[in-house]
Structure 1
Amino acid sequence: MRFFNTIRIHPYLCRFMAAVPGAFFFLCTSGLFAQPVRVACVGNSVTYGYSLKDPATQSYPAVLQGLLGSSYTVGNFGHSGATLLKNGHRPYYKTKEFQGALAMHPDIVVIHLGLNDTDPRDFALYGDHFIPDYNWLIDTFRQVNPKARIYICKMTPIFTGHPRFLSSTHVWYQKVQQAIEQVARINKVPLIDLYQQFHDRPDLITDQPTLHPNKAGAAKLAKVIYQHLTGRFGGLTLPDIFTSGMVLQRDQPVKIWGTADAGSTVLVKFHGQEKKCTVPFDGRWQLQLAAQKANAQPETMTVINGSDKIQLQDILIGDVWLASGQSNMLFTVKQTDKADSLIRHRELKKGILRLFNDKNLAATDDINWDTAVLNKTDRLQFFSGHWAKPDPEETSDFSAVGYVFGRQIALSQDIPVGMIEVAVGGSPLLSWVDRSTLENDPLFEPALHDWLHSDYLMEWCRQRAAKNLEKSTAPYPRHPYEPAYNYEAGIAPIAGLPIKGVIWYQGESDADNAPLFARLFPVFVKSWRATWHRADLPFYYVQLSSLDRPSWNYFRDVQRKLQHQIPHSKMVVTSDLGDSLNVHYKDKIPVGQRLALVALKETYHQDIEDQGPTIEKATRLKSQQLLLQFSHADGLRAKGGAPLRGFKIFDQNGNLVDVPGKIQGSSVVLQLPLHTQATSVVYGWEGFTRANLINKAALPASSFKLDLPPLP
């Protein structure tokens, strides 16, 4: 036992102890102590430091000792393989570490057990005993020191490298977590959520069974425990999405959140409202302000926490849209055709459009990333941005599609519009889906494990990511092509901010596997809607353009069908804008305009045409003819007055045959060759197509394949 002379209690700690359940009540006495505060870290191999080179110095209790200092004595009472269950295969209560923890007569007990109970030998058989056995453990520590403060932990994650993840472990893991939450409520003890702290950091738990934190993971674990024991979370902070010049969503309650030291008070002043809260035990505070109508007059928000004050100026209230996807959404205004007309425009009222460009830390080009980029990417620090007015410099570097869309909405509605851009060139769809959704889907869970060698990602994506990561020495390097990464690094940090809807342009990095994309895209949309707690969140997306790649026509047809399967979604066609050789065609202004048409019709309820000719039905006629009926077909015509192009059939022998077509009102009549039977009809059925059917609004028809009923 180590001793020291005196310790002075900071006034903040006394306030914290009085305000927060679980605070160090035993410290607020005279301010003088005869011996250190005894801390017992109870647990399994994670606590012990299994897989670390030197658990005596690298385990989380050892690191915690250094953080707390000589005023504390921290004991490591972790036993590898231990179960909380008394009937488990290696019960903790029978270990010498348990006896050692009791003999310490701890003032503070931190319990992290349950991971080994996910074994089929344990919770599957004795799960009904888990809560009573946990209650017994807590009571036992209270018997040896009635004044002891007990902290229990939700478990650190088990990632998908675990050999039993899908077969059983993940199911029992979720049940154990729920039981631990119930134990905390029953015993009125503070609950430290280690899952929340680690679930997006697989780079910190990198042993083969993905159970044990590595050295960096143990250090983070110690920091998290330290913060919860002391209430010191680094003072007042706001998420990066909160900066001066921002737009807040109208007609929805405004959520403001951040971190601050536990037990302190946060006060928010905005637009005549004042709200305050006491920062809870985990340091994460949030407040909700009443919904406001659109307001183009700049307002100031003040956030106060003790002596800390953050003041955000020039805030508007209007509609906030999220523009996301891969490189064609990332494609900037300065790269697009007619860029000068966008950069130097004078149509908008001053400041009514605001831009948040969440810029990439590095390009995903064919290069090796340096150590600084690799380290920040591992820590989920790949995106950074701030709100700005659309001056020439900010406009030039913003998404061309997102900027044109936002400008069109602002002009039409005469309200402030905020555009948030979060996009990564080459990113596959899997990288934008949250980890929990993927883990709970048996089809997509395997994509999380060893993703650099997984057929879930196109080979091009895997090769490019490997090139970027070539110099990494990390056991589990992170990358924005990794499943769930862009969600964790780019979407999760802004997900609390209410938005009007999403515009999406992505798919180029999934086009080689259209059937898989067809199953993943609805999962993706559902996951984002769950994130924003809005089942009706508008989701408007761009169909792939034309490019001389053999899979793209199949992929475009999948995208066309998906809009009919996903409520509150709609697609815009761009096949008439593509470049046969360049995936990054430069004519982006019409893309933003077409997305704006969809939003103006579906979200803002304007009576306008927002779709090109849409195939509805094919009927066999006499004289070897097919009648194709279209909706959105007012003024049906061929673009530029040229001959109608793009229609083909699959014949009875599986051959793809060009057929001439003739427009008749809102229909197209196809003339089939003699002695030819059509099994299906297609339009725009090449990677790069010159199909040219449009309507009065000059909007193009989508590629499609329509199977025909067999002949009698």
Structure 2
Amino acid sequence: MKLKIIAMILGAISAITTFADVRCADIFSDHMVLQVNMPIRIWGSADAGEKINVKFMNLKGSAVAGADGKWRVDLPAPKKYVKEGQELVVEGKNKLVFKDVLVGEVWVCLGQSNMDVNITSMNDAKEFLDKNSNLPLIRYYFIPKATSATPRGAHDLKDAQKWLPVTPENRKQFSRASAVGSKFAVELFENLNVPIGYISAAVGGSRLESWMTREAAAAAGETAYVERMEKLFDEWQARDIAKWEALPAEEKAKRNKPDNRCGVISWCHNAMVAPLMPLSMRGEIWYQGEMNNGTHDNYINLFPEYAKMMRKFFENENLYIFTVQLPDSTDKGWAPLRNVQRKLGDMVEKSGVAIIIDGGETELHPRDKTKPAHRLAIMALADVYGKKIISRSPMPLKLSQKGDFVSVVFKNVGKGLKISDGQGVRCFEVAGEDGKFYNAEAKIASKNSVKITLPSEVSSVKKVRYAWAPDPDVNLYNSADLPASPFEEPVE
């Protein structure tokens, strides 16, 4: 009995001691990268009323934990890149020292499976790893798939791969990092030669709305849509759980319990983004859309509110968001969503869309991750870091009928439009009053325009389509070898 009482007392003392410890959010660890020219926001938990002091180089700040035990300190923005590891010190009743901390550029990589697939899945995995496994100024942080009905807190990333430098010793862990995110980070580093930190938090099969709050969806006017999809995914989840429960014990042991909640409003956001807020970062790269096939009319309303939400939560109205348009496929339904993604590149400020319709792979997870990563990187290098490069694909600017042909004027042509194979421009279609599309011959008419000859079936053109197919054989590029975006547009 005495032993039991002593054990209870020791347990209580241990619990009190643990609660009293100052703790930082899980995103903070050795080897992390802090964002240059932005306040260093540091937060965590402690005893209510406890004073917390934070120091990084010559920057200092303090705060007092609130009644709920939460605290936050905002240090002044560091003005210079720091390539030599520094200590970040957080001190209250106990002292935390995070070592080898750098100051550089921080990006988050979000989306579904094409952002989640790792380096080992690439067609050039060994070559890439052999060349890029000793770049210690690049650091990465990996958050594994998770879903939650409610927002998780600062200490709910226990399963995350903490910040690690890209070194030979960490090659195995690095090989499991996001392929697109890693290639993006390497290209930024090669051009900027500054510390690069990237956070990967992607979920295969996730929908746009699963990365949004209900409030953001409501602001987009899409409450009815997300509730309808929530009901469908609830039913899907229930069916899959019932099937799994009915399996023999030995079969159940071989399979993970089904989790389809990555399609439900806010579940990915709650588990994987909420614990990161309000970390200072430069921007986001986003590769998602496959699971929103068929809901492009909702997507065009949702995504601008998603961008507003992210900028609000991360307290950065200048947060850059660069996205990847859906690649080649066998699915006819992807064309309308590609068109929406093109439009969103112009609709959302400080954003852009990488066009990868010339990949030539139709599998769900293309093994070439160089194209999306490079085309994301050049937008960042141009828009964020002021590099004088052509970073955008040709996009339709003006369409007009002139007699028996249609003129399509493009923007983002660089030094001019060109054909990749010396043949006529392919993949144009036109539709008249009846709305039926016909193939049409086309050729480059000037530096920035294409002339389309009307087929005999159409006299008065109402719409023009380009590359409106699952896997179009495109050959229209600008001078920077960036392919023209698929589109459907009305004619003046």
Q: TM-score, normalised by structure 2?
A: 0.86
- C-alpha distance in structure 2 between counterparts of 1:607 and 1:445, whole Å: 44
For the 8 Å contact 1:319–1:500, the answer to whether it is kept is yes
Residue 468 (structure 2) pairs with residue 685 (structure 1): yes
Offset at residue 388 of structure 1 (A): 0.7
Residue 108 (structure 2) pairs with residue 315 (structure 1): no
Question: Are the structure 2 counterparts of residues 479 and 619 from structure 1 closer, same or farther at C-alpha, using a change threshold of 3 Å?
Answer: closer
Offset at residue 468 of structure 1 (A): 6.1
Which one of 573, 582, 586 corresponds to residue 367 of structure 2? 586
Question: Are the structure 2 counterparts of residues 560 and 254 from structure 1 closer, same or farther at C-alpha, using a change threshold of 3 Å?
Answer: same
Residue 205 (structure 2) pairs with residue 426 (structure 1): yes
Q: What pairs up with 1:584-663 in 2 under 5 angstroms?
A: 584-622=365-403, 624-633=404-413, 634-663=415-444
Offset at residue 469 of structure 1 (A): 8.0
Offset at residue 568 of structure 1 (A): 1.1
For the 8 Å contact 1:241–1:385, the answer to whether it is kept is no
Question: Are the structure 2 counterparts of residues 462 and 601 from structure 1 closer, same or farther at C-alpha, using a change threshold of 3 Å?
Answer: farther
- C-alpha distance in structure 2 between counterparts of 1:708 and 1:254, whole Å: 50
Post-superposition Cα deviations, 1:132-156, rounded to whole Å, max 9, x if no partner, equal: xxxxxxxxxxxxxxxxxxxxxxxxx
For the 8 Å contact 1:547–1:583, the answer to whether it is kept is yes
For the 8 Å contact 2:143–2:157, the answer to whether it is kept is no
Question: Are the structure 2 counterparts of residues 337 and 651 from structure 1 closer, same or farther at C-alpha, using a change threshold of 3 Å?
Answer: same
Post-superposition Cα deviations, 1:68-90, rounded to whole Å, max 9, x if no partner, equal: 9xxxxxxxxxxxxxxxxxxxxxx
Question: Are the structure 2 counterparts of residues 570 and 512 from structure 1 closer, same or farther at C-alpha, using a change threshold of 3 Å?
Answer: same
- C-alpha distance in structure 2 between counterparts of 1:437 and 1:324, whole Å: 17
- C-alpha distance in structure 1 between counterparts of 2:77 and 2:453, whole Å: 59
Offset at residue 246 of structure 1 (A): 0.3
- C-alpha distance in structure 1 between counterparts of 2:396 and 2:487, whole Å: 8
- C-alpha distance in structure 2 between counterparts of 1:283 and 1:404, whole Å: 40
- C-alpha distance in structure 1 between counterparts of 2:92 and 2:239, whole Å: 45
For the 8 Å contact 1:331–1:400, the answer to whether it is kept is yes
- C-alpha distance in structure 2 between counterparts of 1:465 and 1:533, whole Å: 38
Give the partner amino acid of 1:437: A
Give the partner amino acid of 1:344: D
Post-superposition Cα deviations, 1:396-444, rounded to whole Å, max 9, x if no partner, equal: 1111111111111111111101011110001001110024334666532
Structure 2 counterpart of 1:401: 180
Which one of 282, 294, 299 corresponds to residue 512 of structure 1? 294
Structure 2 counterpart of 1:265: 51
- C-alpha distance in structure 1 between counterparts of 2:238 and 2:320, whole Å: 31
Offset at residue 335 of structure 1 (A): 0.5
- C-alpha distance in structure 2 between counterparts of 1:431 and 1:472, whole Å: 26
- C-alpha distance in structure 2 between counterparts of 1:692 and 1:654, whole Å: 26
Offset at residue 482 of structure 1 (A): 2.1
Structure 1 counterpart of 2:254: none
Q: What pairs up with 1:270-349 in 2 under 5 angstroms?
A: 270-292=56-78, 293-306=80-93, 308-346=94-132
* Gaps in structure 1 of 5+ consecutive residues: 1-9, 11-66, 69-226, 363-372
Instruction: Give the number of the structure whose residues are more often strand, by fraction.
Output: 2
Offset at residue 538 of structure 1 (A): 0.9
Of stretches 671-680 and 291-300 in structure 1, the one that deviates more from structure 2 is 671-680
Give the partner amino acid of 2:201: V
Which one of 141, 162, 170 corresponds to residue 356 of structure 1? 141
Post-superposition Cα deviations, 1:175-208, rounded to whole Å, max 9, x if no partner, equal: xxxxxxxxxxxxxxxxxxxxxxxxxxxxxxxxxx
Post-superposition Cα deviations, 1:261-311, rounded to whole Å, max 9, x if no partner, equal: 1122322232133433332221001112121121101001122221x3222
Structure 2 counterpart of 1:545: 327
Structure 2 counterpart of 1:143: none
Q: What pairs up with 1:512-591 in 2 under 5 angstroms?
A: 512-580=294-362, 582-591=363-372
Q: Secondary structure of 1:517's match?
A: helix
Q: Secondary structure of 1:663's match?
A: strand
Structure 2 counterpart of 1:696: 479
Residue 281 (structure 2) pairs with residue 495 (structure 1): no
Question: Are the structure 2 counterparts of residues 675 and 274 from structure 1 closer, same or farther at C-alpha, using a change threshold of 3 Å?
Answer: closer
- C-alpha distance in structure 2 between counterparts of 1:702 and 1:708, whole Å: 17
- C-alpha distance in structure 2 between counterparts of 1:707 and 1:472, whole Å: 52
Post-superposition Cα deviations, 1:90-137, rounded to whole Å, max 9, x if no partner, equal: xxxxxxxxxxxxxxxxxxxxxxxxxxxxxxxxxxxxxxxxxxxxxxxx
Give the partner amino acid of 2:240: K
Question: Are the structure 2 counterparts of residues 336 and 640 from structure 1 closer, same or farther at C-alpha, using a change threshold of 3 Å?
Answer: farther
Q: Secondary structure of 2:83's match?
A: strand
Q: Secondary structure of 1:353's match?
A: strand
Q: Secondary structure of 1:316's match?
A: strand
Question: Are the structure 2 counterparts of residues 609 and 478 from structure 1 closer, same or farther at C-alpha, using a change threshold of 3 Å?
Answer: closer
- C-alpha distance in structure 2 between counterparts of 1:427 and 1:333, whole Å: 20
Q: What pairs up with 1:80-95 in 2 under 5 angstroms?
A: none
Offset at residue 653 of structure 1 (A): 2.8
Give the partner amino acid of 1:631: K
For the 8 Å contact 1:233–1:262, the answer to whether it is kept is no
- C-alpha distance in structure 2 between counterparts of 1:688 and 1:519, whole Å: 26
Give the partner amino acid of 2:43: W
Question: Are the structure 2 counterparts of residues 669 and 465 from structure 1 closer, same or farther at C-alpha, using a change threshold of 3 Å?
Answer: farther
Structure 1 counterpart of 2:22: 236
- C-alpha distance in structure 1 between counterparts of 2:387 and 2:305, whole Å: 30
Offset at residue 361 of structure 1 (A): 5.5
Give the partner amino acid of 2:42: I
Of stretches 393-402 and 591-600 in structure 1, the one that deviates more from structure 2 is 393-402
Of stretches 594-603 and 625-634 in structure 1, the one that deviates more from structure 2 is 625-634
Offset at residue 381 of structure 1 (A): 6.4
Offset at residue 451 of structure 1 (A): 5.2
- C-alpha distance in structure 2 between counterparts of 1:642 and 1:559, whole Å: 28
For the 8 Å contact 1:639–1:692, the answer to whether it is kept is yes
Q: C-alpha root-mean-square deviation of aligned residues, in Å?
A: 3.0
Q: Secondary structure of 2:23's match?
A: coil
For the 8 Å contact 2:220–2:301, the answer to whether it is kept is no
For the 8 Å contact 2:438–2:455, the answer to whether it is kept is no
Post-superposition Cα deviations, 1:628-659, rounded to whole Å, max 9, x if no partner, equal: 11122224222233442111111333322111
Offset at residue 619 of structure 1 (A): 2.3
- C-alpha distance in structure 2 between counterparts of 1:536 and 1:515, whole Å: 26
- C-alpha distance in structure 1 between counterparts of 2:166 and 2:126, whole Å: 13
Give the partner amino acid of 1:619: S
Give aligned pairs, total.
458
Offset at residue 705 of structure 1 (A): 0.8
- C-alpha distance in structure 1 between counterparts of 2:452 and 2:124, whole Å: 38
Give the partner amino acid of 2:280: P
Give the partner amino acid of 1:607: K
Offset at residue 600 of structure 1 (A): 0.8
Q: TM-score, normalised by structure 1?
A: 0.60
Q: Secondary structure of 2:462's match?
A: strand
For the 8 Å contact 2:220–2:302, the answer to whether it is kept is no
Give the partner amino acid of 1:422: A
Question: Are the structure 2 counterparts of residues 465 and 393 from structure 1 closer, same or farther at C-alpha, using a change threshold of 3 Å?
Answer: farther
Between the aligned residues of both structures, percent identity stands at: 28
For the 8 Å contact 2:122–2:367, the answer to whether it is kept is yes
Give the partner amino acid of 2:106: V
